Structure 1
Amino acid sequence: MSMLSYSTTRDILRFEGKDQAAYWRRFAMLLTLSVIIATMGMLRNSGAVVIAAMLVAPLMTPILGIASAMVMGWLKRALFLALTVCTAAFLSVLLAWFLVYVADVPRGILIPDQVLARTDPGTEDLIVALAAGVAAAYVQINRSEASLLPGAAIGVSLVPPLSASGVLLYFGEPADAYEAGLLFATNLGAIILSACAVYIVYAARSVMFSKGKRKLSFTASVFVTLAFLAVVVLQLGKSTYNRYLETRTEARVAQAIRDWADPVSVEIIRIDVSAKRKHADLWLIVDLPIEAAFKVSSIAGLLPDSLRETPLVDVLEDELGPGYLIVVRFQNRIGAQLILGTENVQQAPDVDKLSEEN
């Protein structure tokens, strides 16, 4: 590569150095530490600890090594590094599962948000991974910009999805564990492809492709990478489309609940719709009339007549259709509006109207 110094080119292509055994020992140690930090950070639901795991993770270097080997047409080395990265990923998932198992985390507790955040990959994650791959390869070539490397490591998530996958397998959530693994696969393929593009731009193509065999090897390896990414993109496209449908459905259900309750004030705490599983989770708070505070009755008897005329389940079935599993969590409260210094007590205004006025 004529545009790069010999030392830089050598460090990119042969990043292990002269003592390869020592490098891979350091790699194994850092990867183990990174998985431990990421797993514990997720269990504690700490984003800062998870970011620390991204900085410690050593996976970016061999992934960039795959790209550089592909550009040079070294298929055997590219396959060796790809197998190494995949093996490291598999062992990272097992280690995360083992850590949670040893910690004896109760399976009945809620899964932390930091874990669930890695279970919904979309096309935007592919774009981030492509940009991070460009940044990492650029920093690797231009050593003067080495201070930017931590930013590239944080920008793309490599170890956290693997840790999340192990945690989710422990919690008995194989479908979500697959989604976390899909996020890692997205990052892996996108980084390789974008790094190849950077190396080609910064290298002398006439030297790189001087031999027909080398050019053929590079073309074949890029084709395999593109095919791998195509499969990933199909999965991401489905996830993104499902997310779009779920967002629209949640908005429709929220509006249907408000229309059903009007003029009674209903505060919607949470609506979570899963189109793939045909499951919906609703958290609602219904404001009872003031006189309910002075009555002794069943909850149904305290509800306003308008809410009893049309059951909420009928409204939900009209919006979602039959076959959905609906979990509704609701509580009642007394809503009153007072004017201090007077005996003026009225029904509290609707929560949504108060939010709009503020």
Structure 2
Amino acid sequence: MTVQKLSTTRSILRFEGADRIAYWRRFAMLLALSVIIATMGMLRNSGAVVIAAMLVAPLMTPILGIAAAIVMGWLKRAFMLTLTVGVAAIACVLMALVLVNVADVPRGIVLPAQITARTDPGTEDLIVALAAGVAGAYVQINRAELSLLPGAAIGVSLVPPLSACGILLYFGEPADAYEAGLLFATNLGAIILSACLVYVVYAARFVVFGKGRRKLGFTTGMVITLAFLTLVFLQLGRSTYNRYLETSTEAQVAGAIRAWANPYSVEIARVDVNAKRKRVEVWLIVDLPIEAQYKISSIVNLLPEQLRETSLVDVLQQELGDGYLAVIRYQTRIGAQVILGTQNVQQAPDIESLTEDN
């Protein structure tokens, strides 16, 4: 196969050619812009801004280059491009860390959803990355389909997980930062594998079925890629299983809380179980009796007597067992219903009964 038959090979040679300095300069500039956009977008919790960072990010080119180099049997080039991607990834994390330090983001705030969304990778992320790798490699081969390239860039997340990693390190969350890094590793390995398969099917079958150093280089590269993806998959499988356990446990805890509160109205705003850390976080909104507005007392004394007989801590301990750190936030409110134009004020009905009626 000649270089002209596979456009990605030309991208590989740009890192080495006579104009490599200009190419490296463009690569570094786009990478820095992508990190800035992704970091600021996640801090502002703006999905549109994060998508813009995905479109600007130049990492797809060297990653597809790794796949092309493996297919061509160029192990040295594949290693150098892998090193390039690794250094670029570390630079992205450090740049995001510096950005949030310069912005002096308060560490006590609740992390935006755009950041936490990158801390829970699962096997579905691996499937998405495999599909995005196929799309990216297909577009590289079929230049007439360039209009599909933005979709492939959006489909897989490369720079945002790295920016999230830097932000999480700033917030003192190394475990979540590791999960964000795992998401990047998942995307990296999956894109390389799926792109290799596309290149072999479309343009490089002679390497697989041929003999000599190129075939040996191809085989070695594929074995390393599959070994890397196997390690990633084991991590993702464990995360997916933990997520399943956490979801089922959250449903059990929510049911136990409703049973504990019955017949009084308690709205469960949030139940968040972290099985790995053995931590559960519960946010409740309790409707107080209407006469509570005329009393001055502690929140505990304002609760209905039935809710004081058995503490919520005891209910959580029965469901989860010993060893969990439970964070419980009560938000009280006065629940009343009024017939407008009259003085008829009564206790408000239960939230769930209102939802069912509607």
Aligning the two structures, in what range does the TM-score lie when normalised by the shorter sequence?
A: over 0.9
Whether the 8 Å CA contact 1:269–1:284 is kept in 2: the answer is yes
Aligned residue number for residue 26 of structure 1: 26
SS at match of 1:286: strand
Aligned residue number for residue 331 of structure 2: 331
Percent identity over the alignment is 74
Cα offset for 1:100? 1.4
Output the CA distance in 2 between the equivalents of 1:130 and 1:213. 28
Aligned in 2, Cα 1:27/1:66: closer, same or farther, shift over 3 Å? Answer: same
Output the CA distance in 2 between the equivalents of 1:139 and 1:30. 20
Deviations 1:100-148 (A, max 9, x none): 1222222222222222111111111111100000000001111111011
Output the amino acid matched with 1:119. T
1:182 aligns with 2:182: yes
Output the CA distance in 1 between the equivalents of 2:186 and 2:87. 17
In the TM superposition, 1:4-153 aligns within 5 A as 6=5, 8=7, 10-11=9-10, 14-16=13-15, 18-153=18-153
Cα offset for 1:89? 0.6
Whether the 8 Å CA contact 2:6–2:203 is kept in 1: the answer is no
Cα offset for 1:231? 0.7
Output the CA distance in 2 between the equivalents of 1:12 and 1:25. 14
Whether the 8 Å CA contact 1:72–1:208 is kept in 2: the answer is no
Cα offset for 1:273? 1.0
Whether the 8 Å CA contact 1:12–1:68 is kept in 2: the answer is no
Output the CA distance in 2 between the equivalents of 1:5 and 1:29. 27
Aligned in 2, Cα 1:331/1:146: closer, same or farther, shift over 3 Å? Answer: same
In the TM superposition, 1:253-264 aligns within 5 A as 253-264=253-264
Cα offset for 1:188? 0.3
Deviations 1:121-180 (A, max 9, x none): 111111110000000000111111101101111110000111111111111111111111
Output the amino acid matched with 1:73. G
Output the CA distance in 2 between the equivalents of 1:44 and 1:298. 37
Aligned residue number for residue 304 of structure 1: 304
Output the CA distance in 2 between the equivalents of 1:337 and 1:330. 22
Aligned residue number for residue 220 of structure 1: 220
Output the amino acid matched with 1:174. P
Deviations 1:244-299 (A, max 9, x none): 11111111111110000000000111111111111111110111122323344433
Output the CA distance in 1 between the equivalents of 2:261 and 2:192. 53
Output the CA distance in 2 between the equivalents of 1:281 and 1:20. 52
Deviations 1:206-248 (A, max 9, x none): 3554333211211111111111011111111111111111111
Whether the 8 Å CA contact 2:12–2:62 is kept in 1: the answer is no
Give the TM-score taking structure 1 as reference length.
Answer: 0.95
Output the CA distance in 2 between the equivalents of 1:77 and 1:279. 46
SS at match of 1:263: coil
Aligned residue number for residue 317 of structure 2: 317
Whether the 8 Å CA contact 1:27–1:58 is kept in 2: the answer is yes
Aligned in 2, Cα 1:308/1:10: closer, same or farther, shift over 3 Å? Answer: closer
Aligned residue number for residue 192 of structure 2: 192
Aligned residue number for residue 173 of structure 2: 173
Cα offset for 1:5? 5.7
Give the TM-score taking structure 2 as reference length.
Answer: 0.95
Unaligned runs of 5+ in 1: none
Output the CA distance in 1 between the equivalents of 2:77 and 2:159. 23
RMSD over aligned CA atoms reads 1.8
SS at match of 1:326: strand
Q: How many residues align?
A: 357
Aligned in 2, Cα 1:307/1:82: closer, same or farther, shift over 3 Å? Answer: same
Output the amino acid matched with 2:318. D
Output the CA distance in 1 between the equivalents of 2:303 and 2:191. 57
Whether the 8 Å CA contact 1:156–1:187 is kept in 2: the answer is yes
Whether the 8 Å CA contact 1:15–1:65 is kept in 2: the answer is no
SS at match of 1:120: coil
Deviations 1:310-337 (A, max 9, x none): 1111111111111111111112222122
Output the amino acid matched with 1:80. M
Aligned in 2, Cα 1:300/1:109: closer, same or farther, shift over 3 Å? Answer: closer
Unaligned runs of 5+ in 2: none
Output the amino acid matched with 1:152. A
Output the CA distance in 2 between the equivalents of 1:171 and 1:294. 42
Aligned in 2, Cα 1:13/1:104: closer, same or farther, shift over 3 Å? Answer: closer
Output the CA distance in 1 between the equivalents of 2:106 and 2:324. 29
Output the CA distance in 2 between the equivalents of 1:18 and 1:294. 82
SS at match of 2:352: helix
